[in-house]
Amino acid sequence: MQRSIKVLHIITRMDRGGSAQNTLLTCHELSQKYAVVLAHGLSRESKMTDQERQSVERQIKEAQKRGLKDISIPCLVRRIDPVRDFLAFLSILRLLIREKPTIVHTHTYKAGILGCWAAKMAGVPVIVHTPHGHVFFGHFSPLVTRFFMIIEKTTASIIDHMVALSEGERKDYIAFSVSKPDKMVTIHSGVDVTGFMKARVNIKEKRTSLGLNTKGLVVGTIGWLLPIKGPLYLLKAMEVIWQTNPEIHLVYVGKGDLEEEVRSEVSRTGVSEKVTFLGWRDDIPEIMQVLDIFVLPSLNEGMGRVLVEAMAAGKPIVASNVGGIPDLVKDGQNGFLVKPGDSKSLSFAIKKLLDDKKMREEMGKKGRAMAGNYSVKKMVKKIDALYASLFERVTEDRRF
């Protein structure tokens, strides 16, 4: 395989979210082997702080040094906007005609729909799509969900291969007849686990610098503060725990549309001194070290890259038994799985870990041992193999 083979990635936005980080890592690692182009929207909907934007820009520049070509598509936005979506489609189509890639790899729902159909019209030989989760549960009303499933199923018919981030996601796509088994492969999202395994911090000093309680244990979650991520369920679970363990501190790392509502509920219930909102941070490996228990209360989750980070940091986990999470969290081994949207079950599992230090340590060790299975190196190797097989198939077809 040579750099003369061009792979063009398309994603709606580049931010600190899991799908964007997965895409950027893939581009970064493969840009010395392939001629890689990354096309994306301006990410205005992410409402990134200057610090977050600078962090993403640094990542892109590092990839550019390895040969990545970065292209912005201003009209490509996450929300449904018929005018902008049509203009984005035309922009992507013109880009594909100009760049003439051998492989187009789209990421996330909007970029996938527009990018795949533009690639089909432009005559791109190979089309690959990674949904990064699906909209079958928890996102929309049943009627809207059905509409989106029809669009996904129609688009899947023109895709050469789809990449699921977990076995759960792959099985859902097959069960709902969106895609065929022979056109889907599971490739877990790669995580740079080294930084989390090697992070060394003075726990007391770090907690003080973050404004956390230095005496009690710390429960935390990291990710978007959105309804689908279930941050309010975690807060309700902690309200039960605080009745008997008032010294426990809760940390939210991240931001999103639900942030103000969560903050209002914290204020309303009078627990402001027990809860800290840190926003997006660049020192996640260090922050992970100060947590005693990591919680991911999502209602739906493609995979949950942050779970791998928590595992690498040696943290016991409590997470929803939904989507791709069971691929990572083995109930009773490196954490506990609970029913999504069930604050009572969530509080019970958290309390069980809070009360048993030995269990926390044993689960943390098991998680750390498992984290290496989800490294960036393994993800990139599998994606490279997929590209090679699809390219070989196209080459064979052209011979006959």
Distance (Å, whole) CA 118 – CA 122: 6
Q: Where are the domains of the chain?
A: 6-190+375-394, 194-373
| Per-residue confidence (pLDDT) for residue 169, from 0 to 100 | 86
Please, is 242 exposed, middle or buried when counting C-beta atoms within 10 Å of its C-beta (0-12, 13-18, 19+)? middle
- pLDDT tens digits for range 243-283: 999 999 999 999 889 999 999 999 999 999 999 999 988 89
Per-residue burial over 192-213, b = 16 or more CB atoms within 10 Å of its CB, e = otherwise: bbeebbebebeeeebbeebebb
- Among candidates 396, 394, 190, which has minimal Cα distance to 312? 190
H-type helices in 159-316, by residue range?
A: 167-175, 194-198, 203-210, 231-241, 259-268, 284-290, 305-312
Distances in whole angstroms, Cα of residue 314 to Cα of each of 231, 245, 320, 367, 370: 22, 23, 19, 6, 10
Whether 16 contacts 309, CB under 8 Å = no
Write out pLDDT tens, residues 8-20: 999 998 887 888 8
Residues 6+ apart with CB under 8 A from 154: none
6-190+375-394 folds as Rossmann fold (3.40.50)
Higher-confidence residue of 145 and 317: namely 317
Which two tokens mark 171? 């099985």
Look at the chain and count its residues. 400
CATH architecture of 194-373: 3-Layer(aba) Sandwich (3.40)
Integer CA distances (angstroms), 60 to 98, 244, 300, in order: 22, 47, 29
Pick from 298, 293, 304: which is nearest to 342 by CA? 298
CB atoms within 10 A of CB 4: 8
Instruction: Please provide the average confidence, as pLDDT, over all residues in the chain.
Output: 91
Quote the pLDDT of residue 342. Answer: 96
pLDDT computed for residue 218 by the predictor: 96
Tell me whether domains 6-190+375-394 and 194-373 share a fold. Answer: yes
126 strand-pairing partners: 103
142-156 vs 109-122: helix axis angle to the nearest 10? 30
Tokens 């003439």: give the residue. Answer: 100
Percent of the chain with pLDDT over 70: 95
Give the mean model confidence (pLDDT) for residues 129-150: 74
Would the pTM count as exceeding 0.85? no
pLDDT score at 398: 57
Sign for the pseudo-dihedral over CA of 329, 330, 332, 336: positive
Q: Is the pLDDT of residue 1 over 60?
A: no
Q: 325-355: per-residue pLDDT in tens?
A: 999 999 999 999 999 999 999 999 999 999 9
Range with the poorest average pLDDT among 34-43, 131-140, 186-195, 356-365: 131-140
- Contact criterion met (CB below 8 Å) for 208 and 214: yes
Integer Cα distance of 103 and 372 in angstroms: 29
pLDDT at 397: 62
Beta bridge partners of 381: none
Rounded CA separation 104/7 (Å): 6
| Averaged pLDDT for residues 39-52 | 78
- Both tokens of residue 225? 């503060």
* Mean pLDDT score, 202-231: 91
Distance CA 265, CA 254 (A): 17
- Each residue's pLDDT tens digit, 108-139: 988 999 999 999 999 999 999 999 876 665 55
Spatial distance between the Cα atoms of 89 and 116, rounded to a whole number of angstroms: 10
